[in-house]
Amino acid sequence: MSSSGLLKPATLDDVFQKLEDLCKLFPPQEKTVNVTSLKTGRILAEDIITEYDIPAQRTSIVDGFAIIVNQLGTKREIVGLSTAVTPYNAELISNECVRITIGGVVPDGADTVVPIENVALLKEEKCIEVLRKPKEGDNIREVGSEAKTGEILLKDGHHLDTMSITLLHALGISQVEIYKKPRVCVLSIGSDLNSNKMYGSFNRSQLLELFQSQGFTAIDAGSSTEHITEVEEKIRTAASFACVLVTVGGAQVIREVAKTLKFKFEIQDVDSTPGNFTVSTGKIDETPVVLSIFPEYHVSSWIGANLFVSPILRAMEGQNSETSHRFKAELTQPISKTSETRFLRARSEVSKGNLISTPLGCEDIFGANSILEVKSNTCFSAGDVVDLRFA
């Protein structure tokens, strides 16, 4: 409490520590899926461990001829062909060679593969002459050179991409554990005035688009008037679809509903501009719920959603809650000094190989993709390098 008896705004350090603790209350949930239905961007919920050496046999990395390198003479008789599907099964002996394709199994006895461009074909392609002597072991992938039995190939928490899904197929894995994609419901609260309804609809739409662009399942919970019974009914309905609820507008009514539901106010009155953010937790029909209450002002709600909702959703998907990637960027415009810490929306992009960032004003509705944190009593000039976090 301050000397005036009012609750002091929470410091940013305290707020973000509390947010980290909140993320632990909503651990990620796993589910089993078929590898054939996997999509890029999902997050692995188990370690993928190889049960055999990779490669399991010696294979060639070029098209050419498998030979015994250290023997007299440069000519070799071609005695067969080896591919990945149909290997040459006999043992190679002196003065013999086997034509081999990329990925083909190197026959026993051979210790080197000479590329096809380094040989001359003789006697109607029945033998070769080595034009450039290779070193022993050249162009051969040895057994286990890429992975040994028991080695972790993909770790729990890995973001699946095309290459890793292809690897799962190559390993013959049919099913894997992944983390469920979290869902978030967005509800706007306002009076019956048409202007308020339109503004609430826009604000709700921008947050739905934000969460969807971050890879989460965003559900439109519609709008409600400020009548407390209607608001409570809307919140209860939304909680049946998602355990993360976001409301914009009608902050006083939402707080009253949260008190009625015996929710605990975890974060409120943040010492920043904007700072009128509230995050509460509780249960609805025995289901744990996090309820975030943001202003109807579109700038404040967009910043609040990025700072306080997205980290919880990331944690629920098995990601590090701090994976709102932070970068350094060059400012295109100056930022003046104020007595409060400020969060500013910005449009950041790569120009001539450098990341540049332009602070956006209140009138700039579209184009924000990052947030600048400007400490109190700090100013910047155009061209200064600053830290930013991408939305």
Q: Specify the CATH class of 12-28+181-316 in words.
A: alpha beta
Identify the CATH number of the domain defined by range 35-53+145-179: 3.90.105.10
pLDDT at 269: 82
pLDDT at 355: 94
pLDDT at 234: 96
Percent above pLDDT 90 for the chain = 77
pLDDT at 199: 65
Digit-coded pLDDT (tens) for 47-66: 999 999 999 999 999 999 99
Least confident of 81-95, 182-196, 252-266, 341-355: 182-196
Mean per-residue pLDDT for 251-263? 95
Asked whether residue 166 carries a pLDDT value surpassing 90, the answer given is: yes
pLDDT at 28: 94
pLDDT at 198: 55
Ranges for all domains in the chain classified under CATH 2.40.340.10: 326-390
Ranges for all domains in the chain classified under CATH 3.40.980.10: 12-28+181-316
* Confidence at 155, pLDDT banded by 50, 70, 90: very high
Asked whether residue 196 carries a pLDDT value surpassing 80, the answer given is: no
Asked whether residue 116 carries a pLDDT value surpassing 60, the answer given is: yes
Ranges for all domains in the chain classified under CATH 3.90.105.10: 35-53+145-179
The pTM score is 0.81
Digit-coded pLDDT (tens) for 13-38: 898 899 999 998 899 999 999 999 99
pLDDT at 325: 67
Asked whether residue 197 carries a pLDDT value surpassing 70, the answer given is: no
Q: Specify the CATH class of 326-390 in words.
A: mainly beta
Mean per-residue pLDDT for 239-263? 95
pLDDT at 260: 95
pLDDT at 323: 44
Digit-coded pLDDT (tens) for 295-304: 988 899 999 9
Contact call for residues 53 and 83 (beta carbons, < 8 A): no
pLDDT at 9: 72
Identify the CATH number of the domain defined by range 59-141: 2.170.190.11
Asked whether residue 311 carries a pLDDT value surpassing 90, the answer given is: yes
Ranges for all domains in the chain classified under CATH 2.170.190.11: 59-141
Percent above pLDDT 70 for the chain = 94
